């Protein structure tokens, strides 16, 4: 009787869930939609190029072309600008973008755009890994994609734009480690690699917008 009830419950859950083909089609549509809203008018919206954006972009350009920052320091660990020290991770990533595509407002903001898009997609994947429910994964990923805080942050050249992605990667690593019956040294080390990128600049990490406070 218990087995029959269990099978009935599993069959009912399977009927409620999306098929693999339906899930794949919806994922493709949502990904195209996400690309459109994430990169539409990225060069002109938000209008202008803010002071912090230009400072980060200039340091990344200097690193990409000369290997020095705006003060002539070679491959610095911290970037000094306007009386503060900026996170090196974002600037070095942006320097890599400039080496491939050259400078420009769109190219500069595209790094944050890809980080925001990857964050939403990985949040959807995390929801699927935890619930094994495709509908929950789509709902969670879509909500993340349309969250104003994440959307607006991913259209600006700021160090904190990559922090949501870092946090999601950390959560994936924690979930993978938690599911292992016999944790290995790799599974133990993995969850700490993502937060390590934020400790390189505690001041910038402390400036990360709080959606609860800012709202």
Are 88 and 201 spatial neighbours (Cβ–Cβ below 8 Å)? yes
What's residue 125's pLDDT?
93
Are 149 and 191 spatial neighbours (Cβ–Cβ below 8 Å)? no
Are 117 and 34 spatial neighbours (Cβ–Cβ below 8 Å)? yes
What are the tens digits of pLDDT across the range 68-79? 999 889 999 888
Q: 3-state SS string over the chain?
A: CHHHHHHHHHHHHHHHCCCHHHHHHHHHHHHHHHHHHHHCCCCCCCCCCCHHHHHHHHHHHHHHHCCECCCCCECCCCEEECCEEECHHHHHHHHHHHHHHCCCHHHHHHHHHHHHHHHHHHHHHHHHHHHCCHHHHHHHHHHHHCCHHHHHHCCCCCHHHHHHHHHHHHHHHHHHHHHCCCCCHHHHHHHHHHHHCCCCCHHHHHCCCCHHHHC
What's residue 12's pLDDT?
53
What's residue 185's pLDDT?
60
Are 188 and 177 spatial neighbours (Cβ–Cβ below 8 Å)? yes
What's residue 205's pLDDT?
47
Q: Which two tokens stand for residue 140?
A: 């969670």
Instruction: Give me the residues of the chain with pLDDT under 70, please.
Output: 1-18, 181-215
Enter the pTM of the model: 0.76
Are 107 and 61 spatial neighbours (Cβ–Cβ below 8 Å)? no
What's residue 82's pLDDT?
76
Domain ranges of the chain: 2-214
What's residue 211's pLDDT?
42
What's residue 50's pLDDT?
86
What are the tens digits of pLDDT across the range 9-23? 555 555 456 677 888
């Amino acid at each position: 009787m218990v087995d029959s009830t269990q099978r009935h419950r599993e069959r009912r859950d399977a009927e409620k869930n999306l098929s693999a083909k339906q899930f794949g089609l919806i994922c493709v549509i949502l990904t195209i939609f996400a690309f459109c809203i994430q990169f539409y008018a990225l060069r002109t919206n938000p209008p202008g190029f803010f002071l912090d954006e230009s400072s980060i972009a200039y340091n990344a350009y200097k690193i990409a072309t000369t290997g020095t920052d705006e003060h002539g320091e070679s491959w610095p660990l911290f970037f000094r600008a306007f009386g503060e020290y900026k996170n090196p991770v974002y600037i070095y990533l942006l320097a890599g973008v400039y080496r491939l595509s050259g400078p420009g407002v769109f190219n500069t903001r595209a790094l944050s755009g890809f980080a925001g898009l990857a964050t939403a997609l990985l949040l959807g994947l995390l929801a699927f890994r935890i619930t094994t429910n495709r509908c929950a994964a789509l709902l969670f990923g879509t909500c993340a994609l349309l969250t104003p805080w994440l959307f607006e942050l991913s259209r600006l050249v700021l160090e904190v734009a990559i922090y949501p992605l870092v946090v999601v990667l950390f959560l994936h690593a924690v979930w993978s480690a938690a599911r292992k019956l016999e944790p290995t040294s790799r599974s133990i080390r993995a969850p700490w690699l993502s937060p390590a990128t934020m400790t390189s600049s505690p001041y910038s990490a402390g400036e990360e917008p709080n959606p609860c406070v800012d709202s």
